[in-house]
Amino acid sequence: MIEYGGGIREGPAGQVGGGGGGVGTAPDFGGGDPFANIRHTVDGAAAWVGSLSTVELALLVGAIFVGLIILRRAF
């Protein structure tokens, strides 16, 4: 593993860097960009829709249409 650069990361005693959060540690919100998670979600959703077949896409559009009809009748 040393020849691939893993020895520097793992240290002489194996994995020495702590990864677990204990009591009193601050939550990690992903750094300085608060909209990064929203962008990743939109990108993931667009990739998922883009990977659907024609039949699956038609079923998705039909399900959205039925959902909108149900919402219209509810309100």
Note the pLDDT of residue 74: 85
Q: Is 71 domain-assigned? A: yes
Considering only residues 56 and 37, tell me which one the structure prediction assigns the higher pLDDT: 56
pLDDT attached to residue 5: 57
Whether 56 shows a pLDDT value over 80: the answer reads yes
Task: Kindly state whether residue 15 falls inside one of the protein's structural domains.
Answer: no
What was the pLDDT predicted at 75? Answer: 78
54 in a structural domain: yes
Overall domain count for the chain: 1
Phi, psi of 70 (to 5 degrees): -65, -40
Across residues 61-73, what is the average pLDDT?
Answer: 95
Does residue 24 form part of some domain?
A: no
Look up the domain containing 57 and give its range: 38-75
Per-residue pLDDT of 6-49, as tens digits, reads 555 555 555 555 555 555 555 555 565 666 788 888 888 899 99
Q: Indicate whether 14 belongs to any domain.
A: no
Q: What is the DSSP string of 22-42?
A: -TTPPP---SS-TTHHHHHHH
Query: Which region holds residue 28: left if phi is over 0, alpha if psi is between -120 and 50, else beta?
Result: beta
| DSSP H helix total and E strand total for the chain | 3, 0
CA distance 61 to 74: 20
Residue 52 in any domain: the answer is yes
